[in-house]
Amino acid sequence: MKPIWGRGAEAICRLPIQFSTSNFNELRLAMDSRTVRKARQMVETDRAFGMDFVPVRERSSVAQEVVQVQIAVAAQPPDPQRVIARTDLSREQKAASLAELARQTEEWVRAHWPRDGWNRFVFGEGDPAAQLMFVGEGPGAEEDAQGRPFVGAAGKLLDRQIIAMGLAREAVYIANIAKTRPPGNRVPTPQEAERWMPWLERQIEIICPRVIIALGATASKYLLNDPKLAITRQRGQWCSFRGIDLMCTFHPAFLLRSYTVENRRRVWEDLCKVLQRLGLEPPKREPSAP
């Protein structure tokens, strides 16, 4: 099978999203099942966003190993209940896959997302093989200025929480539902979240963490697909996102507004449950910390 990426670092190959069943069966023989599954997921997302071609740039040898072919295949409707399968990808391979996904996401954003006041695309950052992933609602003013998640006042509090857990920011992964700042710093609408979620899901599939912490009501609602979710009742309880353990807790921005001993104690209890689920011993701290 001939390689499909263009020649030169900036070459782009446009492939129509049309593939017959017979051709797809032939393709399956030339590709391993994981690559077929990833290609299918990518095309499902592109079709949902109205794209009729797949842009492909020349990749490094590591990226070529991870994403062997980026090609249009016959796709079935996505299954939101499908469990994310564990992979044997190395940290280097996951990093290459995330870098490619970030490029694709930003390319789609600049082509299809309205220019409604945001400045910087904010993909996410951290250990590509992290066991723990934090998901918030969207970038704020500081994040929009720097292009990084959770770097404002709420981000500084999140850093303190991570350190209190005995971890480092570099050892976890941090992302948001939305990849650009919503107008007026409002929460993402359900329609916006519906467009963002396939990209976040692909991000989670690559990282494949053992535990996800949903920060605040907005992230919890969209990850659990429950528009009526109340964070005060849901926090502290174990849920599941496509087979991955998920813990909901208060958003750091909420804590900054309501920095009471009781609220801090609740969040710390949630974080200790996560540490125990990861097989780690929670540090001995005051109940109200951090």
CATH of the domain at 252: 3.40.470.10
| 267 in the same domain as 133 | yes
Query: Mean pLDDT lowest for which of 97-111, 248-262, 273-287?
Result: 273-287
Bridge pairing between strands 244-249 and 238-241: antiparallel
pLDDT of residue 229: 96
192 compared with 46, residue with greater pLDDT? 192
> Is 50 exceeded by the pLDDT of residue 77?
no
Cβ(105)–Cβ(51) under 8 Å? no
What kind and span of H or E run contains 268?
A: helix 261-277
Q: Is residue 127 in some structural domain? A: yes
What pairs with residue 16 in β-bridges?
53
Instruction: Determine the Cα–Cα distance for residues 223 and 228; give it in Å rounded to an integer.
Output: 12
Cβ(87)–Cβ(196) under 8 Å? no
Q: Is residue 200 in some structural domain? A: yes
Domain range for 22 is: 12-78
| 96 in the same domain as 54 | no
Residue written as tokens 């710093």? 185
| 262 in the same domain as 157 | yes
Map 87-149 to HEC letters: CCCCHHHHHHHHHHHHHHHHHHHHHHCCCCCCCCCCCCEECCCCCEEEEECCCCHHHHHHCCC
Greatest Cα pair distance in the chain = 63
Cβ(133)–Cβ(213) under 8 Å? yes
- List the one residue out of 280, 279, 103, 101 whose CA is nearest residue 207: 101
Q: Which of 78, 109, 135 is the last residue of a domain?
A: 78
Instruction: Determine the Cα–Cα distance for residues 234 and 226; give it in Å rounded to an integer.
Output: 11
| 68 in the same domain as 203 | no
Sheet of strand 125-126: strand arrangement: 125-126, 173-176, 132-136, 211-215, 244-249, 238-241
pLDDT averaged over every residue in the chain? 80
Q: Which of 21, 53, 78 is the last residue of a domain?
A: 78
Q: Is residue 86 in some structural domain? A: no
Instruction: Determine the Cα–Cα distance for residues 280 and 272; give it in Å rounded to an integer.
Output: 9
> Is 80 exceeded by the pLDDT of residue 163?
yes
Q: Is residue 175 in some structural domain? A: yes
| 268 in the same domain as 170 | yes
Q: Is residue 286 in some structural domain? A: no
| 248 in the same domain as 112 | yes
**Binning pLDDT at 50, 70 and 90, where does residue 46 land?**
low
| 157 in the same domain as 16 | no
- Identify how many contiguous H helices and E strands the chain contains and give both numbers: 11, 6
Number of domains the chain is built from: 2
Query: Mean pLDDT lowest for which of 43-47, 63-67, 177-181, 198-202?
Result: 63-67
Q: Is residue 3 in some structural domain? A: no
| 111 in the same domain as 22 | no
Q: Is residue 264 in some structural domain? A: yes
Q: Is residue 39 in some structural domain? A: yes
Q: Which of 50, 78, 106 is the last residue of a domain?
A: 78
Cβ count near 55 (within 10 Å): 17
| 139 in the same domain as 243 | yes
The pLDDT tens digits for 16-41 are 333 343 444 334 434 444 554 555 66
| 151 in the same domain as 35 | no
| 186 in the same domain as 124 | yes
| 270 in the same domain as 155 | yes
